[in-house]
Amino acid sequence: MESKITLNPFKYILVIEHLKQILLLLVFANKKMFIRLSVLFYTFVLLLNTSFIYSQSNSCKATLQVENDRFAQSVRPEGTSYILQISNTGTSNSTYKLSSSNINSSCSNNDGSSSSYNVNLNFSFSDMTLNPISEISLAPGQTTLFLVNVKVPPGTTVSKWNCTEIIATATACASYKVSTVLHTLVSNPDEE
């Protein structure tokens, strides 16, 4: 499954607001000298903001994917783990905060069944030596593997799906995140 990437649209709104201010200044200014200085000042601010947005978006790039594209698995009552790979494709050191989000109401189950019957599962993160983690720090170009651990809460209905989005958010650029969706089927131990 392909990773999703989001950027904060607020930064682009700032650029548009600066352009509006320049146009208003040109309309209402009386003196040519004032206009020239103001235009120079706002042009400088606009260029500074644009370069900041560009450098920030380049410094926080990443990819997140499930190893061997195994984004669908079954889980027994004792649990299972997915192996995920995260890569820093940006230009500076980055720390990525890991989180999970239940998306049962908006996903499509792999077998075509209705997601209205999906169940909730417990997700946690660990490194490959099973030490619990909540974030990962990577140098530019560095890639690492980590585990997404899935546990079935007692009393969970079997033969039902779960859809969970795994998210890695760059702490230096809080609006930048990459994510992937895991599809987990709670297996029935009596049928195995």
Per-residue model confidence (pLDDT) at position 38: 58
Per-residue model confidence (pLDDT) at position 98: 97
User: How far apart are alpha carbons 175 and 167 in whole angstroms?
Assistant: 12
Is the overall model pTM greater than 0.85, yes or no? Answer: no
pLDDT in tens, the chain (192 residues): 445 544 445 555 655 666 666 666 666 655 555 555 555 555 555 554 544 444 444 678 999 999 999 999 999 988 999 999 999 999 999 999 999 999 999 999 999 999 999 999 999 999 999 999 999 999 999 999 999 999 999 999 999 999 999 999 998 887 899 999 999 999 987 775
